Copies of this chain bind each other. A is one copy, B any other.
Amino acid sequence: MAKPNSPITEHLAYLLAQANREINRQLELRLSKEGVPVEQWRILKVLSDGDGHSMGELADAVLLNHPTLTKMIDRMVSDTLVYRVQDPNDRRKVLMFISDRGKVLCKKLNSLAVDQEEHILESYGDKSTSELKRLLESLIDSSN
């Protein structure tokens, strides 16, 4: 009598993919009001500390690999949301900065994103949300 294999829906990798897909879909929907993909919002948000960030740093922070980021930044430069400056201390590097136009857009996007977080808090609960965040952070930690 063979033990049946666990269905795909019980695997952690699958649950993560499913939850990520759903939450991302919802966020995408909100941000589409401003015609901006989620990744661009992440980029703007990281850059909105005003410091210059190298492409490598950015790629890590926004979960994109380098060539994809380069091409997305090209578009954002065309849209004058961000700009490149060569790092004076290490001329291999390029430092990315957010423009004034980028800052304005980022604020609008932030409030759309906050809307979503609030919506999650309502339907999912305060306690579950913070507990889930805690567990995710610790999973990410333990994977390095």
Q: Which of B19, B24, B62, B135 touches A131 (beta carbons < 8 Å)?
A: B135
Is the CB of A68 closer than 8 A to any CB of chain B?
A: no
Judged by DSSP, the binding face of A is helix
In the complex formed, the residue of B with least CB distance to A21 is B63
A91 within 8 A of B: no
List of B residues within 8 angstroms of A1 by Cβ: none
Q: Copies of this chain, how many?
A: 2
Q: Does A132 contact B (CB under 8 A)?
A: yes
Q: Which of B18, B48, B110, B116 contacts A63 (CB 8 A)?
A: B18
- Shortest C-beta distance, A43 to chain B (Å), equals 9
Chain A 1-18 per-residue mask, 1 if CB under 8 angstroms from chain B, else 0: 000010110111111111
A113 on the interface (CB 8 Å rule)? yes
The docked-state distance in angstroms from the alpha carbon of A81 to that of B95 is: 48
**Is A133's CB within 8 Å of the partner chain B?**
yes
